[in-house]
Structure 1
Amino acid sequence: MRVRLDFAYDGTDFSGWAAQPGLRTVEGELTAALGRILRADPAPSLTVAGRTDAGVHARGAVAHVDVEEEAWNALPGRSDLAPEAAAVRRLAGVLPSDVVVRRARVVAEDFDARFSALTRQYSYRICDAPELLDPLRRRDTVTVRRPLDVDAMDVAARSLCGLREFAAFCKRREGATTVRTLLEYSWRREGHLVVGTVVADAFCHSMVRALVGAVVPVGEGRRPVEWPAQVQERAERDPGVTVMPAHGLCLEEVTYPSDEDLAARARTARAIRMLPGE
């Protein structure tokens, strides 16, 4: 049976999501924990909605795993818990403190955590008054020394939205498209913090941090509001765009269609994205 896991993690001490020999990763910890509670050897493999880089956090991560029905139903043991609740409780007992599984539930076989996703939402936190930063937030907030004009950043960010070519903000992979639909990109001020919200159907590698790096110079007054859109139109990496530090980034939410639309959404997501007229 297929099980959906909703989970969160502090990415500070991880080498990203993907399992890598000799390195501590979120996938490695979660896979090992599942193998332990299900008594499965080898442990079942996970498919995740977003493969975050080293240092990136998540509050709304989603993955799916296929498990044996007998092993799943055995999770409650002698307790009165349902298997879903038993899975969450038992995972809490074996996972490290920087990973938390909030919910586990059986889903339709057509559910695919990666390809069924409609949207992925990230946030990015910047403090432009470092002396005022709460030291307890140093792991999830990036500091800059210049005051930021959040209104200018917001205007520049919104100009990048739509079905576009994002090659200027992505690390290219052979045979992979860099066309994406950026549904929302906005900035707001919260006291001495500026917080960005980025929502898309999917993202290229390092795309969100590059998008942030494109508008920070605008906020600092070093680039005009029109500059990020000009970089986007050139469709090539610009040395003026800094890929911002990972620890300011957090995966906030992944959304999915209703069960009857899961398979169709997965087929669409697997198709190569193209711009109109191509």
Structure 2
Amino acid sequence: MRLRIDLAYDGGDFHGWAKQPGLRTVQGVVEEALHTVLRVSADDDCEPLRLVVAGRTDTGVHAAHQVCHLDVEEQTLNRCVGHMEVPAVEALRRRLSHDLPDDIVLHGVCVAPEGFDARFSALERTYVYRIADGARPADPRLRGFVLNVEDVLDIPVMNEAAAMTIGLHDFGSFATPNPGGTTIREVKQAVWQRVPMTGLFGNDTTNGEMKIVSSEQDGQQAAIAVETTANNAMNVGYSVPSLESGLLCFTIVADAFAHNMVRSLVNACVQVGRHRKSLDWFAQKMAEPVREGSTGPIAACGLTLEHVAYPPDGELAERAQSIRARRTLD
């Protein structure tokens, strides 16, 4: 039986997704929990309980929504039911949620549709990189998820650079290939945007007026004063912005990403936005895919995998088969 597992994690204390001896990784922690709740020995070669993931995140990178799959025997899955009067998949979800540490959250577990492969069936992945530049210091509560940059970044010129990445390109200047792989990827969207300064009360525009509601209750008049709107909050001398107000976000969507590709593109865009590098320099790096020091990755803390998209169930197997082919620019 193949299961689809959706989860999120704070990557700050993990050495990336992929399991590594002696290091705390997301895959390692989740697989350890699976062995515990399914009562399978880690040395059992007949039931390896190995996760296949949509996108291997690097050390320190976060995921708001990661997807993986697990192949497991039905009789093994049934072990986690115990005294619970629920289906085995739901029992696994409950036990796994209870056993995972606080920096991993389980969104859901379900039986995967026919042909589903968490990695190869995916149509696209969406990453967001968040920066607090000189225009607004980062809220200290976001220090593990946002990069601080002292300069005020030039958003229009950064978007000119980002626009060059859209389409099918060899990103060899900004990534390293897996053994036997390539750095050819198709970017579908890439844009820099500043999060608007919005208050916690949303877009209410009733100007803080006081509404009086009268009601007859137990023969007495009750006057209920209802204070309204964000504008009313502004009138008391301060405003409460939403947590991400003012942040600069880079959103990029691609069919897949090569190792260090997103963080290296962000670093290059930031250098252009600081006016330390030119658009011509960026264009040359796109045209000549050669890795060198100035196109290395930026800090991992600001990067989050936000979404993984899949085709309709009937197209999952076909998608997985086609994506396994070695990519070319033709």
Give the TM-score taking structure 2 as reference length.
0.80
Question: Are the aligned partners of 1:3 and 1:104 in contact in 2 as well (CA < 8 Å)?
Answer: yes
Partner residue, 1:212: 266
**Is the aligned partner of 1:45 residue 2:99?**
no
2:139 to 124, 129, 134: 134
The residue correspondences of 1:47-196 to structure 2 (distance < 5 A) are 47-129=52-134, 132-190=137-195, 191-196=245-250
Q: 1:114 to 1:173 in 2, by over 3 A?
A: closer
**1:63-92 Cα distance to aligned partner (Å, 9 max, x none):** 000111123234333223333332222112
Question: Are the aligned partners of 2:164 and 2:286 in contact in 1 as well (CA < 8 Å)?
Answer: no
**Is the aligned partner of 1:224 residue 2:224?**
no
Distance of 1:251 and 1:73 partners within structure 2: 32
**1:6-36 Cα distance to aligned partner (Å, 9 max, x none):** 0010010111111111111111100011111
Question: Are the aligned partners of 1:130 and 1:143 in contact in 2 as well (CA < 8 Å)?
Answer: no
Q: Which 5+ residue runs of structure 1 have no aligned equivalent?
A: none
Residue 159 of structure 1 aligns with an amino acid whose one-letter code is M
Q: Which 5+ residue runs of structure 2 have no aligned equivalent?
A: 43-47, 196-244
Q: 1:172 to 1:73 in 2, by over 3 A?
A: closer
Give the TM-score taking structure 1 as reference length.
0.94
SS of corresponding position for 1:203: coil
**1:25-58 Cα distance to aligned partner (Å, 9 max, x none):** 1111000111111112235111111111110000
Equivalenced residues, count: 276
**Is the aligned partner of 1:259 residue 2:264?**
no
SS of corresponding position for 2:189: strand
> Percent of aligned positions with the same letter in both sequences?
46
Partner residue, 1:275: 329
Segments of 4+ in structure 1 off by > 4 A? none
Question: Are the aligned partners of 1:84 and 1:103 in contact in 2 as well (CA < 8 Å)?
Answer: no
Residue 171 of structure 1 aligns with an amino acid whose one-letter code is T
Residue 8 of structure 1 aligns with an amino acid whose one-letter code is A
**Is the aligned partner of 1:244 residue 2:249?**
no
Aligned-residue CA RMSD (Å): 1.6
**1:140-181 Cα distance to aligned partner (Å, 9 max, x none):** 111111111112212210121101111111124443211110
Q: 1:131 to 1:117 in 2, by over 3 A?
A: closer
Question: Are the aligned partners of 1:177 and 1:273 in contact in 2 as well (CA < 8 Å)?
Answer: yes
